[in-house]
Amino acid sequence: MARKTDGGAKRIVIMLILAAIVVGGFAILAFRNKPDVATPATLTPVEEVLARDLATNYPTTPKEVLKYYSEITRCFYSESYTPEQLSELAAKSRELLDDQLRAQQNDDDYLNDLKTSVDIFKSQDRYISSYSVSGATDIDYYRYEGADWAKAFCLFTVRDGKKMVATQEEFLLRKDTTGHWKIFGWRIYDDKDSEAKNQ
């Protein structure tokens, strides 16, 4: 009788172990397949841009500054967002500007001008489809009046109705006292300018 009881107890223990394995397996699969709402894959482009904390994660090179600035610009003109998100995007954009450039316009005027520009752009059925920033080796670094400067380019491709239009902009950046590269200014780049200098 003792042997039968031992055998029955062993069978019960084995069944409990097997049940635990099956339940544990299902739990692992369920956890693995559960969507994670905090992953970047589920964020919109606007949310992804706004998730960056510039106080602790400022772009380290002129190229990275322009990439982030260009992504903000693309969001302005090509994405959907709330009024609050537009204000936050504008604030992020201004954090990338040199103090001298920021001083030319206060935050409210900048936001109002931005809203007008975006409204006009979108009303004409236009949006920025892509952008491309100068490679690291194509950035021109130099010293001037005791400061570090960098010159780089960004090519924006705009869909205008059914047409694709490419616009190249030349950016000038200056390193501030904290070592951060800031956008000092920009202009539409014209190849004729460089041709005239080389003649």
Which domain does 142 fall in, by range?
40-198
Output the domain CATH number for residue 183. 3.10.450.540
Does 190 fall in a domain? Answer: yes
- Cα–Cα distance measured from residue 154 to residue 86, given in angstroms and rounded to the nearest whole number: 22
Distance in Å from the first CA to the final CA of the chain:
109
pLDDT digits (tens, 9 = 90+) for 14-60: 554 555 554 444 444 444 554 444 455 689 999 999 999 999 999 99
| pTM, two decimal places | 0.74
- Cα–Cα distance measured from residue 64 to residue 58, given in angstroms and rounded to the nearest whole number: 9
Q: Quick one: pLDDT at residue 102?
A: 95
Count of domains observed in the chain: 1
What is the band of 198 on the pLDDT scale with cuts at 50, 70, 90?
Answer: very low
Rg (CA), the chain: 28
Q: Quick one: pLDDT at residue 6?
A: 58
Does 21 fall in a domain? Answer: no
CB-based contact 153:170 (threshold 8 Å): yes
What is the band of 67 on the pLDDT scale with cuts at 50, 70, 90?
Answer: very high
Does 192 fall in a domain? Answer: yes
- Cα–Cα distance measured from residue 19 to residue 15, given in angstroms and rounded to the nearest whole number: 6
What is the band of 160 on the pLDDT scale with cuts at 50, 70, 90?
Answer: confident
Does 92 fall in a domain? Answer: yes
Does 6 fall in a domain? Answer: no
Does 157 fall in a domain? Answer: yes
- Cα–Cα distance measured from residue 186 to residue 153, given in angstroms and rounded to the nearest whole number: 9
Does 16 fall in a domain? Answer: no
Closest CA to 62 of 140, 131, 145: 140
Does 18 fall in a domain? Answer: no
